[in-house]
């Protein structure tokens, strides 16, 4: 695939948007998580969203793993397709996550003993990596989309393991806390 010239001509603007979005999204999520009054959406349907988010994260994790398999086999069109699926699932997840945390209180973890430490370790590392993940993911996707393979490879060294860790630990954290949901 040849790089899209109109996008490359505006690369500085694209980079500024990536930086802006990479800062805005974690700040917006933090505000939603800690705002004193949740948004009333007028229905209980939001309580299904954590379950949906786990499904989305599982599918995104599988797409990420398939993307790695395809790139290792030099099947670049399949790699691009699976990474686009993972990217799209990530966007859907983010919207669902924001809706849920804007409307519902967080569920406290009820586990005790060593499992509590494991849960909080996974949760804290998941949150930290999720907060910084968007920046390298957006750059990796942009460089891949514009066929800037050298830049893409450099960013993917960091973006891919962070993205996969966030996706997989999101599912694990969900499975660990799901018995404590009060729906």
Contacts of 129 (CB under 8 A, 6+ apart): 162, 165, 166, 169
Flag whether the pTM goes above 0.85: yes
CA distances from 113 to 29, 118, 121, 168, 176 (A): 30, 9, 13, 23, 13
Query: Strand, coil or helix: what is 18?
Result: helix
Say what the pLDDT of residue 5 is.
Answer: 62
65 and 167 in contact (C-beta within 8 Å)?
A: no
Say what the pLDDT of residue 121 is.
Answer: 97
Say what the pLDDT of residue 150 is.
Answer: 95
Domains of the chain: 41-180 (1.20.120.80)
Say what the pLDDT of residue 37 is.
Answer: 77
| Dist CA 62 CA 82 (whole Å) | 9
User: In tens digits, what is the pLDDT along the chain, a chain of 183 residues?
Assistant: 445 566 667 888 889 999 999 999 999 888 887 877 778 777 788 889 999 999 999 999 999 999 999 999 999 999 999 999 999 999 999 999 988 888 888 888 888 999 999 999 999 999 999 999 999 999 999 999 999 999 999 999 999 999 999 999 999 999 999 877 765
| Dist CA 116 CA 110 (whole Å) | 8
Running DSSP on this structure, what letter comes out for residue 114? H
Q: Half-sphere exposure of 37 toward its Cβ, with a 13 Å CA cutoff?
A: 3
């Amino acid at each position: 695939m040849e790089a899209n010239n109109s996008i490359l001509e505006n690369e500085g603007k694209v980079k500024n948007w990536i930086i802006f979005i990479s800062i805005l999204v974690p700040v917006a999520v933090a505000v939603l998580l800690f705002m004193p009054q949740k948004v009333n959406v007028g229905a209980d349907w939001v309580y299904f969203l954590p379950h949906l988010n786990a499904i989305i994260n599982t599918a995104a994790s599988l797409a990420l793993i398939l993307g790695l398999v395809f790139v290792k086999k030099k099947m670049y069109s399949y790699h691009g397709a699976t990474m686009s699926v993972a990217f799209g699932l990530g966007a859907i997840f983010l919207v669902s996550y924001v809706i849920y945390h804007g409307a519902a209180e967080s569920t406290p973890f009820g586990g005790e003993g060593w499992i509590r430490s494991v849960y909080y370790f996974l949760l804290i590392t998941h949150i930290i990596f999720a907060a910084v993940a968007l920046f390298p993911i957006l750059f990796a996707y942009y460089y891949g989309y514009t066929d800037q393979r050298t830049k893409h490879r450099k960013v993917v060294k960091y973006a891919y393991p962070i993205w996969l860790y966030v996706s997989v630990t999101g599912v694990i954290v969900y499975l660990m806390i799901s018995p404590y949901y009060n729906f």
